[in-house]
Amino acid sequence: GEDVEQSLFLSVREGDSSVINCTYTDSSSTYLYWYKQEPGAGLQLLTYIFSNMDMKQDQRLTVLLNKKDKHLSLRIADTQTGDSAIYFCAETAMFSGGYNKLIFGAGTRLAVHP
């Protein structure tokens, strides 16, 4: 079956690194995504990784993928108060004719304190 799990809460000090973890179940997932949701807003695409990659870096964001363990992580370097939000991990689900259905985790609420 399809399932994505994330820890629900993470608290970090401003300037430290944040690491948000996610596990997924569908080994056929080709793409894995990270989205950010701020209060009252929709989901903002942060980054995504293809399943044949181990790592992807984009400015302060680093995504690590361990396909064997079906584990995905998002590292935010030099975390700022503006990074406070809910972060969603999502996997693509096999669907006849297309792959555009995403299975989302419950979201990790990141709180950044001074």
Partner 1 sequence: KAGVTQTPRYLIKTRGQQVTLSCSPISGHRSVSWYQQTPGQGLQFLFEYFSETQRNKGNFPGRFSGRQFSNSRSEMNVSTLELGDSALYLCASSLGTGGGSPLHFGNGTRLTVT
Span from 14-22, 45-53, 62-70, 73-81 in contact with partner 1 (CB under 8 A): 45-53
- Residues belonging to the chain: 114
For 30, residues 6+ apart whose C-beta sits below 8 A from its C-beta are 50, 51, 92, 99
Q: Does 42 bind partner 1 (CB under 8 A)?
A: yes
If one counts every other C-beta atom within 10 angstroms of the C-beta of residue 90, the result is 23
Q: Does 31 bind partner 1 (CB under 8 A)?
A: yes
Which CB atom, from 47 or from 62, has the smaller least distance to partner 1?
47
Q: Does 53 bind partner 1 (CB under 8 A)?
A: no
Span from 29-37, 55-63, 68-76, 77-85 in contact with partner 1 (CB under 8 A): 29-37
Contact pattern from residue 71 through residue 100 relative to partner 1, giving x for each residue in contact according to CB under 8 A and a dash for the rest: -----------------x---x--xxxxxx
d(CA 95, CA 55): 26
Dihedral sign (CA 80, 104, 3, 28) = negative
